Amino acid sequence: MEALAYLIAFHRDGEVKVRPIVIPEDAYPMTPDPVMSVFEQAFYYGQNDFQPVPGCYSVSVGDVVEIPVDGVPMRRLVEGAGFSDPLTDEQFKGLMDV
């Protein structure tokens, strides 16, 4: 599965980088909730220690992770402990307009 991370926390010059994240098919589920497990895996594999992406920071608090859920993008903000509730399109746009 592929996910995207919008690196909002450390953006510069009004440009938000989009970091691709590949979650291996055999990734061990980290939570009993399958959707939240994918978000947790996206955070884990969004770290340069485990999946380096040249020119991109690791996923961090304040960034937004996007995964496909039933063909529709679901976005959550990375918080200090876990993730926010799903973001509306309006909330996401507000975060991107920083």
What is the distance between the alpha carbons of residues 46 and 22, in angstroms, rounded to a whole number?
Answer: 8
Domain coordinates in residue numbering, the chain: 2-96
Residue 13 pLDDT: 66
pLDDT category, 25, cuts 50, 70, 90?
Answer: confident
The percent helix, strand, coil of the chain (3-state, each to 5) is: 20, 35, 45
In degrees and rounded to multiples of 5, residue 74 shows phi and psi of -115, 130
Identity of the residue numbered 10 = F
The per-residue pLDDT for range 62-74, each reduced to its tens digit, is 999 999 989 999 9
pTM metric for this prediction: 0.90
Name the token pair of 94.
């507000």
What is the distance between the alpha carbons of residues 43 and 64, in angstroms, rounded to a whole number?
Answer: 10
Q: How much is the CA Rg of the chain, to the nearest whole Å? A: 13
